Amino acid sequence: MLVCGSERMHCMKTLTKELWMDVPQRRAIVSIHKEVERLVEESKVSDGLVLVNAMHITASVFINDNESGLHHDYDLWLERLAPFNADPSVYHHNRSGEDNADAHLKRQVMGREVVVAITYGKLHLGPWEHIFYYEFDGKRRKRVLVKIIGE
């Protein structure tokens, strides 16, 4: 029989938090790094994983450089890969009265979520890794989920 808390065997802790976003532009990149950092601290998990995901399907959570030139490049690049077009004959999704089909495509390139390790009670990241929310269809309230699991 093993008992949690003894030597190398430990028990699970979790923390769950929804972060509300309200981006005034249609598209924008918003840092959520500090907030995730703070929640990891609050969780008291020293060793585990944190999942950070967009709860909406026209937005992404991703990790990359905190550099405005690059963010500009992402925006132009995604617009080239998956251009905005409200015309329902171009994107069938827009037959439903929406105009955001492009946002659903862009989000797949940048991803829905990141999973980050927690070690010694902190986000275990490389020197330039920074956690961002990417809004592709803003001007309304949306949520990001932070789920921490570990010991």
- Of 4-43, binders to a second copy (CB under 8 A) are 4-6, 8-14, 16
113-119/47-54 β-pairing = antiparallel
Q: Least distance (Å) from a second copy to the CB of residue 111?
A: 7
- Give the CA distances from residue 5 to residues 12, 27, 37, 80, in Å, rounded to whole numbers and listed in that order: 10, 46, 25, 53
Candidates 19-27, 34-42, 86-94: pick the segment binding a second copy (CB under 8 A): 86-94
Q: Least distance (Å) from a second copy to the CB of residue 129?
A: 6
Question: Are 63 and 132 in contact, with CB atoms under 8 Å apart?
Answer: yes
The number of residues that bind a second copy (CB under 8 A) is: 71
Nearest residue (CB) to a second copy, 1 versus 24: 1
With binding defined as CB under 8 A, does residue 86 bind a second copy?
Answer: no
Question: Are 92 and 102 in contact, with CB atoms under 8 Å apart?
Answer: no
Single out the residue of 33, 39, 84, 91 in contact with a second copy (rule: CB under 8 A): 91
Single out the residue of 23, 82, 133, 138 in contact with a second copy (rule: CB under 8 A): 82
Backbone angles phi, psi at 148, to 5 degrees: -110, 135
What is the helix (H) or strand (E) element at residue 134, kind and residue range? Answer: strand 130-135
124-143 residues in contact with a second copy (CB under 8 A) are 124-129, 142-143
Backbone angles phi, psi at 81, to 5 degrees: -70, -35
